[in-house]
Amino acid sequence: MTNLLRRTVAVVVIAGSATTLAACSSGGSKSSTTTTPSTCSSLQKLQSSVDALKNINVAQQGTDGVKSSLDAVKSAAQGVKKSASKQFGSDVDALESAIKQFGDDLSAGKGSQSLVDYVQTLGDDVTAIGNSFDKLQTAAQSGLKNCDLSSK
């Protein structure tokens, strides 16, 4: 991967994740459901994996590092789905779909697309992940008691 592409992917990943996390960690919550420890733990693990993705140094870790971080987010999302599928299943499904699309596009590489089009595709994918994560985070903050989901 060229240095320009690495830097561009880094900017896309960091900008998209930072925007998402800022949106997700703001605002109050309306508590309506008692939180089980496993649900809260799985949500916090998801938050942590998104933070790690946000902070990845693509120039040092390359696409393999991004893929590894995406795998961690995917695994954490599956943990949320397992512990809270009744509450958040559809939101997690949407997040998993967005993660899969980003992973597929990243794995496929630039191909015959121009670099600009490829970066735009990856940027659109990050936006979709951000939107899905925002929706899940909002639902969790509204539906759970005693679970700190703020970025650390």
Number of other residues whose CB lies within 10 A of the CB of residue 11: 13
Query: What CATH number did the domain enclosing 88 receive?
Result: 1.20.120
Residue 13 belongs to domain spanning: 3-23+30-143
Is 58 inside any structural domain? Answer: yes
152, part of any domain: no
Residue with tokens 């991004």: 66
129 contacts 100 by C-beta, under 8 angstroms: no
What average pLDDT score do residues 118-129 get?
86
Q: Is residue 95 part of a domain?
A: yes
Give the residue, 18 or 79, on which the prediction is more confident.
Answer: 79
Which DSSP helix (H) or strand (E) runs through 142?
A: helix 115-143
pLDDT computed for residue 40 by the predictor? 86
pLDDT at 113 over 60: yes
pTM above 0.75, yes or no: no
- Give the pLDDT mean for 119-135: 86
Q: Output the average pLDDT for the chain.
A: 77
pLDDT confidence bin for 53, thresholds 50/70/90? confident
Q: Is 54 in contact with 72 (CB distance < 8 Å)?
A: no
In a domain, 148, yes or no: no
Tell me the H-state helices in the chain. Answer: 3-24, 37-54, 58-108, 115-143
Say if 98 falls within a structural domain.
yes
pLDDT band at 100 (very low <50, low <70, confident <90, very high): very high
Could you give the dihedral angle defined by the CA atoms of residues 108, 114, 117 and 121, in that order, rounded to the nearest 10 degrees?
Answer: 10
Phi, psi at 140, each rounded to 5° = -65, -45
- pLDDT score at 30: 38
19: in domain:
yes
Residues 6+ apart with CB under 8 A from 17: 50, 53, 54, 126, 130
Instruction: Report the number of distinct structural domains present in the chain.
Output: 1
pLDDT value at position 97?
A: 94
